[in-house]
Amino acid sequence: MVVSQSIGIILLAAGGSSRLGRPKQLLEYKGRPLLRHTVEVALASACRPVMVVLGAEYEACLKVLEGLDVTPIYNSAWKEGLSSSIRAGVLALEGEKPAVAGAILCVADQPYLTAEVLNALIECQRNSGVKIVACEYAGKPGPPALFCASLFGELKKLTGDEGARRVLQENSDSLALVRFPKGETDVDTVADYDKLRQSAKPNTDVHRGDEPE
């Protein structure tokens, strides 16, 4: 199935950042909050619409999004885990007109994410016709990942804090990968953030891979 309609993006930014001890969405990165940085990357891509799922620190995060062409979604069940944010985002996206052909699930704490990576996911799907295109780093698939609309029902059945890994595994026969080596860098702890601040400028080169043999 080759997608020709638009692909939306669901940015998952509702978590409480328990390991970090403060909301990672509001951490400063490149002179602005990490959440705003990630949303600006999404807006620079071909993805539309851009849905941002919020929960913890809702008002502060909402303020960060001021002036940006995004749809904020409040997930009142954010403490239930990542799956609750996926459900909230998919339900909101399903209500959009015109209907989208798929969605990229994206997290808010991958500082080296670029619009080129997001666009590569879309291009790979259109060239291959698979149901899922995920990024590949650290030897395995991970977010961001594109899911065709035919899988929205499965995404809405997810529970707990498992994310979309189960859907990815159950549809591995229709999966392609795009290489994103720096995707393994995220911000879960104070040490992660300290390392990020001390690091050099990110390399925005996109290294792509075709569908696995």
Question: How confident is the model over 111-164, as pLDDT tens digits?
Answer: 999 999 999 999 999 999 999 999 999 899 999 999 999 999 999 999 988 789
**Total residues belonging to the chain:** 213
110 in Cβ contact with 103 (< 8 Å) = no
47: closest CA among 18, 81, 11, 17?
Answer: 11
Question: How far is Cα of residue 136 from the mean position of the Cα atoms in its chain?
Answer: 14
Torsion on CA atoms 59, 37, 177, 52, rounded to nearest 10:
20
89 in Cβ contact with 9 (< 8 Å) = no
> Is the pLDDT at 209 greater than 80, yes or no?
no
Question: How confident is the model over 44-60, as pLDDT tens digits?
Answer: 999 999 999 999 999 99
pLDDT, position 94: 94
133: closest CA among 96, 95, 161, 106?
Answer: 106
130: closest CA among 114, 113, 151, 158?
Answer: 151
**Residue that has been written with the tokens 């859907």 in this structure:** 167
Q: How far is CA 121 from CA 60, 169, 188, 190, in A?
A: 31, 18, 25, 30
Average pLDDT over residues 58-64: 95
CATH of domain 7-198: 3.90.550.10
pLDDT, position 4: 53
> Is the pLDDT at 206 greater than 60, yes or no?
no
Question: How confident is the model over 18-32, as pLDDT tens digits?
Answer: 676 677 888 888 889
- In whole angstroms, what is the distance from residue 194 CA to residue 171 CA? 37
Beta bridge partners of 11: 52, 106
**Looking at residue 190, what DSSP letter applies?**
H
